[in-house]
Every structure is written in structure tokens, then in C-alpha cells.
Amino acid sequence: MKNSKLKDIIFLNNKFIPIKEAKISILEPGFLFGWGLFETMRSYRNKIVYFDKHLERIKTSSKLVGLRISYPLQKLKKIIGKAVEKSRFKDAYVRLTLSKTKKGMDISVVVRKYTPYPAQKYRQGIKVTISSFRQNEDSFLARIKSANRLLYELSYSEAKKKGFDGSIILNSRGYISQGSRSNIFFVKDNALFTPCLACGCLKGITRRVIFDLARKYKIRIYEGRFTLQDLYQADEVFFTNSLAGIMPVKSINAKFIGKGKCGKLTKFFIAKYNSLLK
């Protein structure tokens, strides 16, 4: 297949249109106040990873923020699937966005080519820092994928300016919440640990996969309230999200974690997760 046939695709309010023609009003609440929701998904070989889980999450969240999805989920699923098919990308970034309007909502689906992180990152890990911004763990907004991502974007931008690949966000009480674009896990004595939802972290789709894999392979896993000291003393640390999958963390604030590269248990989860994509 020729590359000329591959193209970015956008669906906006009942029709597929060229991406240059996609427009929304700047006077709508979605634009003015960030009143909206989104799901970022990965399509691998024309199959959207954990498709139903993403749709279930946005449906649940929509009720919390007063958005009424104008399509049945099955129809929305077909629209997204058609967008992926039209793009012809074997590996794609897919974003579903619900944005509040005065009369209802705008629904958009964007499909673009996804370029995975270099394999070297998965072998050696990424370097991260601690964000100066804090999560409000008492707000329900911490547990939904709101279109207002200012906290996370500021945290990520701050880290990049300092030469890091990402950041770890603490909550108002000083406990670990999550990464700037991910959930976080750490390994100690062959057991897994991750912040509980009460710490203000997102109930991530890939986070759930880690729990399922841990139980399947009899690996101990614990949710709780953890500090930076717990991370610094960990044998391994890794991030999870729907695009990157499982990404090892080699250092925090220039301090190496374990041996300063992808650890044994992290490698195990990367292999098992990747096998689920095939």
C-alpha cells in the first residue's frame, strides 16, 4: 500500500471532513472553560486496544460533568472504527473528544499516525523529575479525563524544560498521585505497589491491565499511600498509559532507581502487555 493513501482522519458532528476544515465556535463552553472529556486510544493493526473499556469510562464520566452523549455507544464505536479504517494507519493515535456546547455537545474523533517511543527507551528507561504542581486528591476531576489538562500539561512542560522526559505529581498531602501523563507503579522485593485512587490518580485502563496480569501470574500487588522515599528505595519504577503501554523509569531527579535501567519485573509486564496487542 502506498504511503500517499495514508491520511489523518477527523469525524466532527455527524460527518468525516478534511482536518483543515474542522472548526468549532470559540464561544462554546467547551472552548471557554475546558468543559469536556476525552479518551486517547491506540489502534494497533486496525484494532483499538481495550476499546470497550475506554468507551465505558467516558460514558461514566459524562454523567458526572453533565454531558449527554448523542450516540448510543455501539454507534459511536462504529464511527471510531470507520475513522481508523479510513486512515489506513497500521499504528494509530485515536482521540475521542466530547466538548460542551450551548445546545448539547460537539463530538470529534481524530485519527493520526502513531510513532512509538524508540525501543531504547523501553530497554533503558526514562528520566523523570518531581513536579512543583500538586494534585487535589479530594476533587472528582482528578479521577476523570477532563478536557482541562492544565495541571498535567504544566507539569509535563516544566519537566521537559529541565531536560527530563516527564514528571511525578504529588497530591496536596505529599503522597504520590501519578505521572504527568500516566499512572505509576514501583517494585520492591518482587511485589508491585501503586497509589490508591484516593491519592487522586486516574483509574487508568492500562493500570487495570497491570492488576489483571499480576493476579493472573500470582504477583503480589498493593494499592496505598506512598511517599517519594518509597520510590527512591524501590527496585524498579514504571509508568503506564494507553499509548506508550508500560514505560520503565530509570531515574528520578537524576537518582537512579535500582540498576538504572528496565528491571526484570518491568520487562515481564512489557512482554505480557505487548502479547495482548497481537
Tell me how crowded residue 184 is: count the other CB atoms within 10 A of its CB.
Answer: 24
* Residue 69 and residue 98 in contact, taking contact as beta carbons nearer than 8 Å: yes
Q: How confident is the model at residue 20 (pLDDT cuts 50, 70, 90)?
A: confident
* Residue 218 and residue 258 in contact, taking contact as beta carbons nearer than 8 Å: no
Q: Would you state the CATH architecture of domain 3-113?
A: 2-Layer Sandwich (3.30)
Q: What's the CATH fold of domain 119-277?
A: D-amino Acid Aminotransferase; Chain A, domain 2 (3.20.10)
Q: What is the pLDDT of residues 254-268, one digit of tens each?
A: 999 999 999 999 999
Average pLDDT over residues 148-153: 96
Tell me how crowded residue 185 is: count the other CB atoms within 10 A of its CB.
Answer: 25
Q: What is the pTM of this model?
A: 0.94
Give the whole-angstrom CA distance, residue 51 versus residue 57. Answer: 10
- For the chain, give every domain's residue range: 3-113, 119-277
71 to 18, 43, 74, 76, 111: CA distances (angstroms): 22, 21, 8, 6, 19
Tell me how crowded residue 20 is: count the other CB atoms within 10 A of its CB.
Answer: 8
Q: What is the pLDDT of residues 177-231, one digit of tens each?
A: 999 999 999 999 999 999 999 999 999 999 999 999 999 999 999 999 999 999 9
